[in-house]
Structure 1
Amino acid sequence: MKVLLVPQGNRAVLIRLDEDGSPSGGSSPAEEVTDDLVGSVAAVEREHAPRWVWEDTSRIYPRLLDAGVRVRRCHDLALVGAILAMRTGRTTTPSTPADLRPGLFDADPHADPVAVLAHYRRQIEEIGDDRGLQLLAAAESAGGLAAAEMTFDGLPFSAAAHRRHLDATLGARPVDGSTPPALVKLENEISSVFGRRVNPGSPAEVVAA
């Protein structure tokens, strides 16, 4: 399940999407307007854990984190757009983080949900059936979520705490200093998608793939 999210101050527009990016139930977007952005995202995430489609994780996710809401997956239009532009030699305008909380002198125009949806549909069409590109888009978007969460939580100041976190996530560190099994498994899965060995820890190899 996918849900397009367009914040508009404290309010938000949500559009449920099919896997191909088209609005669920027909060609006309069935917009769900809510006066409680945070509460609505929390409820949908808890019940469906969808892939959220939004313009820019760095602008939207911090507000959710501040309210104690975390999401598992997203499609970041800004990050994926940068990847697609790089592949074709197009230039992009860097995203500027913004405070999305409404204020007395807030003059930023709200995004048009129909335009945001059209932007997403164009990206889906450009990605097409390229499994490697689909994986790269998902990984880049996941990285955006991780970056926002790391900014919010901060990094462990204790080496021991850091080691415990790594052990819990990746498994015990091999005594010979080799790659942890969890990362080996991930590398094998990614390589199988591309049909050749690709090191996910190497940005150059990922982009070249």
Structure 2
Amino acid sequence: MTTHFPACLDDLTAALAGLDIPQENPHHRAILDAHRRVQQLDAHLLTGAGDGPPGCLADPHEQREQLTHVLILRLLAGYELTRLLSIQGCGSQIGGDSEADTAEEEVDCRSCPAAEHTIVHACLDAFAAEGDPAAMSSADLTDHLHQLPGMAEGRWSYAELTPLRLARLLALYGARPRNVRFGIHQLKGYLRSSLTAALPDCSC
């Protein structure tokens, strides 16, 4: 089970103490989720490589295929975790406290590398590939994302995304699906303007 913060107990404590609850940082959440994903896949591999219950996977060929699939997911998850951990935050520069240094740091902050690989950017790339329509259905958007390598926000591989999982990831950035009319059909989808507004300026 995944624990998200602030939890109910944290909300109650903050209310009783009169404290403001800071907003969750999507980049930090992505690191935690990626680490949890790596641990889950490691546990899955160890379980699959050991002596499982008889009859669980009677076909050795099927067992090898499943382990190979999990191993690929584990390698992708490990790469994504390494990438997230390697991103240098805007406030991580050492030395220099002059006004010029501060101004330079602010410029760097606006183009922070941490904001270049979010699910929001991936979705806008899918819009661009379709000629930047005003809206895309959740199903079409998810189909586009399936073609991407790596992990989405360190939680699922792009190939594993579903419209529901996509909605959960985009909700972290304040982007939510809505009913959109496509011709004679009304489907759940996303407005390009909503995703553009959800672009993170800096996630350090």
What is the TM-score of this pair, normalised by structure 1? 0.23
Instruction: Indicate the structure whose relative CO is greater, using CA pairs within 8 Å and at least 6 residues apart.
Output: 2
Larger-gyration structure (1/2): 2
What is the TM-score of this pair, normalised by structure 2? 0.24
